[in-house]
Structure 1
Amino acid sequence: MVKRFIAGAVCPRCGEMDKIVSYADEDQRQVRECVACGFFEKLREADGPAELQTRVTRPKQAEAQVQTIKFYPRPKKEQ
């Protein structure tokens, strides 16, 4: 776990600037914490935008089943 200071960040509780560190906790959730007053907040996971469907990302269609068929000549009508 590597704690990194966030440049220019202001603590929402004490108002101190450059006292906020950010790191990932044991559950890999992003956390921010103030080293001056002890403010602690787990950030929610942001849902990323849905990927646009293109010809490259389009889901593959199931292959059509191949089946052979036989054509028989029509029986001749008797007159």
Structure 2
Amino acid sequence: MSEISVVIIKRFIAGAVCPSCNAQDSIKMWTQDSTPHRECVSCGYTDTFNEQGNPVPTEPDTRLSPPPKPIDPNVQTLRFVELRPKT
């Protein structure tokens, strides 16, 4: 019998930032069984994506989940302004 080996091509995503350790350019992505996966080579964080391209959480949020990270006060938010055409 012949064996079929499947080669999974993993590629680095330029400019991607790890959601766990915030390391830039350390995320590699690949598709396995029509499901996109990503992994950080710095901290080992991994996750998968659903059909809409959103990350699937590894566990549901509960009251025992760690609190979200505080927002850095030195970061300014970007607001988009709707420009109205002259009438």
Aligned length: 46
Alignment match of 1:3 (pick from 7, 10, 26): 10
Answering whether residue 51 of structure 2 is matched by residue 45 of structure 1, we say: yes
Runs of 4+ in 1 over 2 A off after TM superposition: none
Match of 2:19 in 1: 12
Higher relative contact order (CA 8 A, sep 6+): 1
Which structure 1 segments of 5+ residues have no match? 48-79
Q: Aligned partner of 2:31: which letter?
A: A
Match of 1:24 in 2: 31
Output the aligned Cα RMSD: 1.4
Secondary structure of 2:30's aligned partner: strand
Q: What is the CA-CA distance between 1:28 and the residue it aligns to?
A: 1.9
Greater strand share, structure number: 2
Which structure 2 segments of 5+ residues have no match? 1-7, 54-87
Match of 1:76 in 2: none
Deviation by residue 1:7-62 (Cα, 9 ceiling, x = unmatched): 0000000110000001012x220001101111001011128xxxxxxxxxxxxxxx
Identity of aligned residues (%): 46
> Bigger radius of gyration, 1 or 2?
1
